[in-house]
Amino acid sequence: MTFHQHPTTYTKHVHLQVADLSRSIIFYENILGLRILDQTKSIVSFTTNGQDAILTIEQPIEVSNHPANAVGLYHMALLLPSKKDLGIVFNHIRSTGYPFSGASDHMVSEALYLNDIDGNGIELYYDRSPDVWKWQRDMVEMTIDPLDIQSLVASAEQTPFNGMPEGTLMGHVHLRVADLDEAETFYVKGLGFDVVNRYGTQALFISSNGYHHHIALNTWGHPSSIKRTEQTLGMKSFSIVYPSEESRQKVIAQLKEIGATVSVQSDYVSAIDPSGIEVKLFIA
């Protein structure tokens, strides 16, 4: 998984606001198999390796619902180490009776889809070897073909489920945006990602170091803008890791040049995207 370590710029962590913390803990522990790393009365962080937080969930004191067709999270995508690992997780989730919302073969990867208790989209996937990815110049080919479920089940080899695999990472983040041009300005001209695929005027896939995508942006269904507050459910923030302070400083200058809101915190830099989502910029 060299696309999620130095010297690549990559997504690492997602922070969600949920309606009921206890209910969400049950889902992320029992259904998804994440492990609690830190916990307070209102915030819980989950890990797969026992050291790094991959997901944080928080219950606001007051809750403001996130409209179904509003800008924000489309799905967060957990990248598993292998097809066998994905097969084991599939068998486990199916055994609980919790519903999947989809399953696809994307050529570069195989993926399962489901929603958490609050309706936040989740993708579970593994990557095929980059050696078999197909590129047309700078654009990677991806498909939405039916997933071979029988092959996925067979790959698990009847191995029992023991939680989400230790090597699971936040593979990418997919966002629903109101204006694709504005989003491209922020994420490409500002944050410095490369465009690796365009789907007409409705979707854009971007990445670093030749990955198929670290971030995806879409306007499918014509999402509406909302005024995001500390009480808004759904995605609150996500984190990006840059390979060096020099590269992060370059991005800060680019963000200021396009007029983005940027502020320096104690251990990260905060930037607000056009949808009001906080993007936290760390260094490796």
Domain ranges of the chain: 2-283
Residues of the chain with pLDDT under 70: 1
pLDDT at 92: 98
φ/ψ of residue 160, rounded to 5: -70, 150
Q: Which pLDDT belongs to residue 67?
A: 87
Give the pairing type, strands 53-58 and 35-39.
unpaired
The type of residue at 146 is P
Supply φ then ψ for residue 51, to 5 degrees.
Answer: -125, -45
pLDDT at res. 1: 58
**Nearest residue to 86 (alpha-carbon basis) of 12, 26, 2, 165:** 165
For domain 2-283, give the fold: 2,3-Dihydroxybiphenyl 1,2-Dioxygenase; domain 1 (3.10.180)
The secondary structure of 60-123 as a DSSP string is: -SS-B---TTBSEEEEEEEE-S-HHHHHHHHHHHHHHTPPP-EEEE-SSEEEEEEE-TT--EEE
pTM value > 0.95 = yes
Residue 141 CA, chain-centre distance (Å), reads 20
pLDDT of residue 20: 97
Instruction: List Cβ neighbours of 12 (8 Å cut-off, separation of 6 or more).
Output: 4, 52, 54, 169, 170, 239, 240, 241, 282
How far apart, in whole angstroms, are the C-alpha atoms of residue 209 and residue 172? 14
3-state DSSP assignment of residue 152: helix
Tokens (6 digits) for 24 = 């969400």
pLDDT the model gives residue 165: 97
pLDDT of residue 68: 84
Angle formed at CA 270 by CA 264 and CA 272, multiple of 5 degrees: 135
pLDDT for 66 equals 87
Query: What would the two tokens of residue 49 be?
Result: 């390796």
